[in-house]
Amino acid sequence: MKVVQIQMNSQSDKARNLADAARLLDEAAGESPDIVVLPEYWAMLGNSPDEFHASAETFPDGDAYALMKQKAAEHGYYVHGGSIVEKAGNAFYNTTVVFDRSGEEVTRYRKIHLFDVDVPGGASHRESETIARGEEVVTYDVDGRTVGCSICYDIRFPELFRALRDKGAEVIMLPAAFTLMTGKDHWELLARARAVETQTYFLATGQFGTHADGKKACYGHTLAVNPWGHVIAQVGDQVGLSVSKLDFPYLETVRQNLPVANHHVL
């Protein structure tokens, strides 16, 4: 399986973000991938609940949904659609939508763990004021291989990844807009830990750089980690692509030689 991860620097201008994503999705096609992955909130990375809610789409309507569907069919690869804001009834969700090679939706995942942080005397961020919580652990099939879904803050909760492994995940996707302050210390550490404990290929795809008129910053450093915990591909401090080939016989060897999934007692 060949995977291209797209690192973006999305802003509050949805039309511009879609144009940037279209260009990068076309560029990714040159690598002949099986899957292309977008980051969290790739269609809108704003600064207020109103901005996020205004960008929301009611699937299958919406420009971001249509773009992913179109590019998947045009280029014949799966699109793991990072995340965009989904409106369902009166609720808004941080949602991944996945499209197959013909442009058909195959699954969607609503982010389970919401980033609510209040630092005494410091920053406050409450995702739950903008977004409702998802409840379902989600996997999907790509050419006989099982791919698990997660988003950003989920990375700090190993029980989700244990559940994905128990559902057969061999690859886990984590689109993110990880903050600069936490990312520089925890991003790679957590990604490698999740890969090692689940013995999966762990692909963490990030937003990079400043947004919200320069008031907020994302860490970037999109990376792919193999089941032994080694980083096999990475994007630096820029918008761009990461390309990796996933070796499933190697994954099976790791699981055979260190069969941790057989030893759970809790």
- Known catalytic residues are 40, 111, 152
> Which residue blocks in the chain are alpha helix, DSSP H?
14-29, 49-54, 63-75, 158-166, 180-198, 248-257
- DSSP characters over 33-67: -SEEE--TTTT---SSHHHHHHT-B-TT-SHHHHH
Query: Rounded to the nearest 5°, which phi and psi values hold at 251?
Result: -60, -45
Angle at 174 between CA 169 and CA 176, to 5 degrees: 170
Tokens describing residue 199: 């013995």
How far is the CA of 136 from the CAs of 28, 163, 190, 221, in angstroms?
A: 30, 11, 22, 28
